[in-house]
Amino acid sequence: MNPHETQTLALWRAASPGAVLLDGFHAVKHAVRFGAEIELVVTTDRAAVRALADELAADVGGYLEETAREVSEPFLRDLVPRAGPTGVVALAARPEPEPTRARTAPIVLLENPRNLGNVGAVVRLAAGFGVAAVMTTGDLDPWHPHVVRGSAGLHFATTVAKVTPDTLPDGPIFVLDPEGADLRTTEIPDDAILAFGTERHGVSAALRARADRLVAIPMRPKVSSYNLATSVGMTLFRWSTTSANAPT
């Protein structure tokens, strides 16, 4: 290990507690765009990263070229054994959740989710639709590196937090449930909490009992369920068709 890499390793180890791993160009790009506090950028080829930025995201190219520390491929693989093919990773400070009391877009609530990739896909959808927050209950960490990879770094474009059932923000709770009213004719208010359960079991009886409204997504008979992210996407699209606050 050369002196430059020794110093890079020291900087990596000195990152703030709970620093978020950004694996891959797109994750780093989105974190930069949405104001993440980037602590360290590491790449195996600074020129290649700049060229990729010039092609896909010129707004972040200068920043990456100026800040990225170039290291050997073996060194990067020691830092992040399964790093993506773009050869760039970064560490960013994990932000504190922002208040969601007064909001002009819904909150997506995932009750006890299990699949890290699905949660990442939901965060990506939420960022695209401009929702107020993605909140999860249960043991899964919504800032797990695999979740951040699935979101392509778009955690920094919205609020992402783990909560308990007793600390949900105010707002009408719309629970997605097969026995609910048809989503296609349901008006979703901007301050709604859109609650989704697991694909196998749905929401818990306790959360279902708290619902202000049950909503069902139309589905062909004999089909068991939709993917979680698909269900969230359809529900948010329905909200977007009636809200003046949805992105255009």
How confident is the chain (248 residues) per 10-residue block, as mean pLDDT?
88 90 95 96 93 93 93 92 88 85 90 94 97 95 95 96 91 94 95 89 89 94 88 96 90
Q: Residue 245 domain-assigned?
A: no
What is the domain-level CATH number for residue 117?
Answer: 3.40.1280.10
Q: Judge if 124 and 80 occupy the same domain.
A: no
Residues 86 and 112 in one domain: no
Burial label, 200 (beta-carbon count in 10 A; 0-12, 13-18, 19+): exposed
CA distance readout (Å), 72 to 5, 57, 63, 157, 197: 8, 24, 21, 31, 44
Query: Are 8 and 61 in the same domain?
Result: yes
Note down the domain range covering 68.
Answer: 3-92
For 52, the enclosing helix (H) or strand (E) is helix 46-56
Asked whether residue 116 falls in the same domain as residue 234, the answer is yes
Q: How far is CA 69 from the centre of its chain?
A: 26
Does 134 share its domain with 40? no
Positive or negative, the CA dihedral 202, 207, 209, 210 is negative
* Same domain flag for 22 and 47: yes
- Looking at the fold, whether 74 and 139 belong to one and the same domain comes out as no
d(C-alpha 29, C-alpha 47), whole Å: 16
Residue-level pLDDT at 99: 67
Would you call 126 helix, strand, or coil by DSSP? helix
What totals of helices (H) and strands (E) does the chain contain, helices first?
A: 9, 10
77, part of any domain: yes
Q: How confident is the model at residue 144, as a pLDDT?
A: 94
The residue from 66, 92, 118 where one domain ends is: 92
Domain count, the chain: 2
Q: 56 in a domain, yes or no? A: yes
